[in-house]
């Protein structure tokens, strides 16, 4: 598998010849004629979802953090470390995926995703530098090296990306797409729910606002890959796709139980198991594959959706705790994963 040419005078961007991969693109963003209209619609939504983390007031979070329990602090620090690593990896990884995509309208939204991943990484830095004591900040950045459970799960996704970088075969490309899909749609969500849980108890409202905006972006990134993957994988790929999902679910459950367990009010190992398998089944269904975990069709954290506001049922501009972020949050366009 070869990356597309950057300068390609003999390319053909006509709709009949346009492909997700393997096309002969000129790399001109000719958006007057678009084959994948979903990408054009998604571009508009992603552009509307502009936000700036520093405009979220973290004043009350500074004091709230000091009053968290030791278990809550452990979870807060560990989840931040996990999120920092993966969004940093994504910022560097998405452009490499885009090098092999030959549809200009999809390249365009992958460029927006790269920008948003960078904003997410910078948002975590803003949280760390504002809320955490100076002496603990380096610990957060380095935890992924020292915690064996965290290292193992970070390695699984990162190594899949690295394998494609080292050997850009079609099979490695497909696995990198599935890894992206799992990262955006499964890996973050028990962590996100931890922050929503804190907010439901009136703790860390500013942090939760930032997580909500990140969560909103990630749902749109899920849409990108749920659209690309069915164009690329075949029935022969289903066994290893299921294997990747199974491994990801096991690691997500192990990590969440390791960093949260039964130590946080409102979160339990049983709920973690149900929620993670529910997410996996939902993601598989979105790419037209059968459920891997029969019977796991209900979200045990539905009571937190009002805070998360990720289902398109409410106004994502609304701030659950009436702080000041509505003045810059420009879009309420998200509508689940149904692009």
Model pLDDT for residues 216-252, shown as the tens digit of each residue: 999 999 999 999 999 999 999 999 999 999 999 999 9
pLDDT of residue 310: 53
Q: How many CB atoms lie within 10 A of CB 115?
A: 15
Answer for the pair 164, 173: CB distance below 8 angstroms, yes or no. yes
| 124 is annotated as an active-site residue | yes
Block residue for tokens 């390695």: 155
Distance, CA of 160 to CA of 180 (rounded, Å): 10
Q: How many CB atoms lie within 10 A of CB 6?
A: 7
> Residue 45 to residues 33, 312, 334: CA-CA distances in angstroms?
19, 13, 7
pLDDT exceeds cutoff 70 at 307 = yes
Which residue out of 65, 124, 189, 213 is catalytically annotated? 124
In a domain, 311, yes or no: yes
Angle at 190 between CA 187 and CA 195, to 5 degrees: 125
pTM of the model: 0.91
pLDDT in tens, 284-305: 999 999 999 999 999 999 888 7
Q: Would you place residue 339 in the very low, low, confident or very high pLDDT band (cuts 50, 70, 90)?
A: low
Q: Would you place residue 334 in the very low, low, confident or very high pLDDT band (cuts 50, 70, 90)?
A: very low
In a domain, 51, yes or no: no
In a domain, 335, yes or no: no
Q: Would you place residue 309 in the very low, low, confident or very high pLDDT band (cuts 50, 70, 90)?
A: low
Find the domain containing 282 and state its range.
Answer: 69-327
Give the mean pLDDT of the chain: 90
In a domain, 294, yes or no: yes
In a domain, 31, yes or no: no
pLDDT of residue 317: 34
Answer for the pair 11, 24: CB distance below 8 angstroms, yes or no. yes
- The HSE-up count of residue 208 (CA atoms within 13 Å, CB side) is 31
Between 330 and 327, where is the model more confident? 330
Distance, CA of 257 to CA of 254 (rounded, Å): 5
Residue 214: give its domain's CATH number.
1.10.620.20
In a domain, 16, yes or no: no
Q: Count structural domains, the chain.
A: 1
In a domain, 2, yes or no: no
pLDDT exceeds cutoff 60 at 335 = no
Angle at 154 between CA 177 and CA 236, to 5 degrees: 30
Q: State the virtual CA torsion across 247, 251, 252, 258 in degrees, nearest 10.
A: 160
pLDDT exceeds cutoff 60 at 314 = no
Q: Would you place residue 257 in the very low, low, confident or very high pLDDT band (cuts 50, 70, 90)?
A: very high
In a domain, 172, yes or no: yes
Q: How far is CA 39 from the centre of its chain?
A: 18
pLDDT of residue 305: 79
Q: What is the mean pLDDT of residues 64-69?
A: 97
Answer for the pair 307, 205: CB distance below 8 angstroms, yes or no. no
């Amino acid at each position: 598998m070869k990356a597309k040419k950057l300068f390609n005078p003999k390319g053909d961007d006509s709709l009949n010849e346009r492909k997700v991969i393997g096309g002969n693109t000129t790399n001109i963003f000719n958006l007057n004629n678009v084959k994948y209209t979903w990408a054009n619609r998604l571009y508009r939504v992603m552009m509307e979802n502009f936000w700036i983390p520093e405009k979220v007031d973290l004043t009350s979070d500074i004091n709230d953090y000091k009053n968290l329990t030791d278990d809550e602090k452990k979870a807060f620090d560990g989840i931040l470390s996990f999120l920092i690593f993966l969004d940093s990896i994504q910022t560097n990884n998405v452009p490499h995926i885009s090098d092999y995509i030959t549809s200009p309208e999809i390249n365009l939204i992958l460029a927006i995703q790269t920008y948003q991943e960078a904003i997410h990484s910078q948002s975590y830095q803003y949280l760390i530098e504002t809320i955490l004591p100076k002496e603990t900040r380096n610990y957060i950045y380095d935890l992924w090296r020292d915690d064996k459970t965290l290292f193992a799960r970070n390695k699984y996704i990162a190594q899949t990306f690295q394998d494609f970088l080292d050997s850009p075969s079609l099979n490695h490309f497909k696995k990198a797409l599935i890894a992206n899909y799992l990262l955006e749609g499964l890996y973050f969500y028990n962590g996100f729910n931890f922050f929503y849980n804190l907010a439901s108890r009136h703790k860390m409202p500013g942090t939760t606002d930032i997580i909500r905006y990140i969560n909103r972006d990630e749902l749109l990134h899920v849409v990108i890959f749920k659209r690309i993957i069915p164009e690329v994988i075949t029935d022969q790929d289903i066994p290893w796709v299921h294997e990747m999902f199974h491994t990801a679910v096991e690691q997500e459950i192990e990590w969440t139980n390791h960093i949260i367990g039964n130590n946080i009010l409102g979160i339990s190992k049983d709920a973690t198991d149900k929620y993670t398998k529910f997410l996996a089944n939902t993601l598989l269904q979105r790419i037209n594959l059968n459920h891997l975990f029969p019977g796991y069709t209900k979200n045990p954290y539905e009571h937190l959706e009002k805070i998360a506001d990720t289902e398109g049922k409410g106004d994502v501009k609304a701030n659950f705790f009436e702080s000041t972020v509505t003045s810059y949050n420009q879009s309420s366009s998200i509508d689940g994963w149904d692009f």
